[in-house]
Structure 1
Amino acid sequence: MEIVETSSEDGVARRRAVGEPVLELRNLSVDYGVGESAVHAVRDVDLTLHRGEVLGLAGESGSGKSTLAYGMTRLLAPPGVVAGGRVIYHAPGSEPVDVLQLSDAELRHFRWAQTAIVFQGAMNSLNPVHRIRTQLTDVIKAHEPDTRPAERLDRARELMALVGIPDDRLESYPHQLSGGMRQRVMIGMAMALRPQVVVMDEPTTALDVVMQRQILSRMIKLREQFDFAVLFITHDLSLLAEFADRIAIMYGGRIVESSPSADLYREPLHPYSKGLLGSFPALRGERRELTGIPGSPPDLRAMPTGCTFHPRCPHAFEPCSVQRPLLTVAAPGRDVACWLHATPDTED
C-alpha cells in the first residue's frame, strides 16, 4: 500500500492510499511503419499503474500519449506496430500475464472485462443507428452470453444510474443525447463488466469546462466505489492537477517526468513540465502572465540529438544537445529526465 498526495488548483492537498501494481509497461516502444522509414512514436516507456490510482498522462498533441494507450491495449491500426517491450497485467488472484502475448481469443476476453477504454469522440464511438439500450446490453451479452435479456436490461439501467442518466434514455439514439450525456454513456459502457483498468483518452476535449468537471467528478466517485485504476490521457495539465494521483509527462515519445500530482503542481522539475503549467491560467491567487512554450513539438522523423526538448528549453546548456538524459530518480517518488537534475555521465 502506498500513500500519495494530490492537489487541486486551489492548492488543497489530499492524501489517499493506492494498492499494488495492476498494469506495468516495460520498455514499450511503438512505431508507425517498418524498417528504416519507421517513425518511432513511443520509445522505451516504463510506467506502473497501481490499483485504485488515477495516473495522468500529459503532453502536447503529437507527444505519443494516445499511441501509448492504443499500443498497450493492442488497438493500434496499421501501420502502427508495437516494436518492443512488455505490458504486464496483474489480475486479482492470478499470475501476471503479458498482454502483448495474448491470443486473439484471450485478448477479446481481456478487453472490457479487465481493461476498458473511454475514447475521445463519444459520437464516433457510439453506433448512430442503434439505441443506447442495445449498445449497453450487447457489451454484456458478448462477454456473458448465459445472462438472460431481462438481466442484461437491468444491468443497463444500473449503468445509466451510475453515470447519472435517467433510464428512460435507454431508448434514445446517440444523436438525441447531448455531448456530455454521450460521454457519460461511454463511461457507463466502460464500467459494464467492472474492469480493473479504465483508459480515458482525452474524454472531455470537446466539452465545456462545467461539463468537464461534472464528468470527471462522476468518474472519481465511480473509482472510489469500485476501486479500479484509471489512466487519464490529456493535454490539459490543469485537469490532472485536480483529479490525478500521479502525473507522467510525455515529450517526443518518451516520459520526461513522473511525479505525485501535488509535487509536480507545486514544483515541476523538468522545464517542459514547467512550461505546460505556465500555459493555463490559475483559477485562484494572483494574476500571472501566461508564458507558454516557444517553438513547436519535434518532428518524429528527424528528432534532435541529445535531449529532445533542448531546442525549446530556456535552460539548455552544454550536454543537452549532445547526450540524452535518462529518466532517473530526482527525489522520493519523483523521476525526471533532465541534465539540470543529473550528472552528464550517462550515454544515450
Structure 2
Amino acid sequence: MNRWPEDELSEITESDDLHIAPFREDGETYGTPTRIWSVAVEGELYVRAYNGQDSSWYQAAVRETAGQIETAGMTKEVSFESVEDEVLKDHIDEAYRAKYEGSPYLDSMISERARSATVRVRPRGIFDRLRAGEPVPLDDPEYAKVSEEVNRTIRLTKKLNAATDVDEIRHYVGEIIGEEVDESTTIFPPFHINVGKHTSLGRNVFINHACSFLDLGGITIEDEVMISARVNITSESHPVDPDRRKTMVPGEVVVERNAWIGAGATILPDVRIGENSVVAAGAVVTNDVPANTVVAGVPAEEVREL
C-alpha cells in the first residue's frame, strides 16, 4: 500500500487546484481532467463527486481504479478506491467543513449524494503498475525500486536456502512474500524467487525442490496445489520487437485449487491453470488450462479430461 509523502500531501491539500483524470475504458488514455475538491484525513487523500455516483469521472475511477491527478504543479499516477466506511465518511465530512467553511457548495459536498461517491486516492508506484499488468520500460524512473526489492529478496533467499527445517523455511518465505505462510504449506529448498511481494500461497500447498518463481506480474497458488521439482513459473516477459525489448511486460499466473504441476514444467505469463488440472512433466504452458484437464507437450496441449 503506497501512502503520500507528508510534504506532497500537504502541498496537494493546500493548493486546492486538483484535477482528476481516471483512465478511459481502454485502460491507456486518460479522461478529460475534472477539477474537484480534496481533503486529507489521517495521512490519506480523499475526493468526492458533486453529482454523486452519476458523475462520469466517479464511474470511471471506480471502474478503472487508476488514472492521473494534476495539482500543485505535480502530475501523479494514482489509484482509486471507493470508500464504504460510514465512520470514515463522517471524518471526511469534518475535513470538508474545516477546509471549505463558508463555501456555498459545502452542503452539497457533505450530502448523502456526494458521500456515496467518496474515493480514496493513493500514489501509484511501479509495483502497482506491474501488478495491474502494465508494461514498464526498464529505464522507468522508478525501476530502481525493483532493484531494491530484488536485493532484499536475495538476502532473504540466502537464509531460506540455508534453513534446516520446514518451519524455518516457511518463516523466510513469509518474509519474502509479505504474508504469513500457513503451517499446512510445505516448501523444499532450494527455492528461488526474484521479488516475492506479488506471490500468494494458499493452504496445504506443496512445492518441491529447485522451483523458480518470477513474480512481478503476480503469482497466485491456491489451496491444495502440488508443484513438483524444478518447476518454473514466470509472470514476466518482454516484447519480441528489438526496439521495445527492454520493457517488462507482466502477466499474472494463477494455479487454481488442487492442480498438480509436473516436474520440470514451465508456466509462462498470463496463464491460469484450472482447478484439479494436471500439467505433465516437462510441459511448457502458454495458454490457459481448463479445469479437470491434463495437458502435456511443448507447447502444452490437452491430452484428456479428468
TM-score by length of 2: 0.24
* Structure with the bigger percentage of helix: 1
The structure whose RCO (Cα within 8 Å, separation 6+) is larger is 1
- Normalising by structure 1, what TM-score? 0.22
Q: Over alpha carbons, which structure has the higher Rg?
A: 2
